[in-house]
Amino acid sequence: MSKKEKTKTEGNHIVAIVIYIIAYLAMIYFAQFVLNGAIRGKMMAQYANSPELATKTAMLSAGAGTMSQIQTLLSA
């Protein structure tokens, strides 16, 4: 393996790490939106006095991947 080849592979590793970090941060950012949506749905339902509305709002704002989080928030 020549010296030039080695540097190119190291460069690719750095790019991969940077992309991974950006994706991880984006995931955390999105999770905040999901949780905010679920909490907002719960609050709306308390004012509207119907648990059905809370579940629907939370599900719409969060998507299907976080059902357990939503159920935890709604049961609290």
Task: Give 65's DSSP letter.
Answer: G
Judge whether residue 56 has pLDDT over 80: no
Asked whether the whole model's pTM tops 0.75, one would answer: no
Task: Give 66's DSSP letter.
Answer: G
Distance CA 74, CA 41 (A): 9
Q: What is the DSSP string of 18-55?
A: HHHHHHHHHHHHHHHHHHHHHHHHHHHHHHHT-HHHHH
Distance CA 70, CA 11 (A): 41
Each residue of 21-37: pLDDT tens digit? 898 888 888 887 777 77
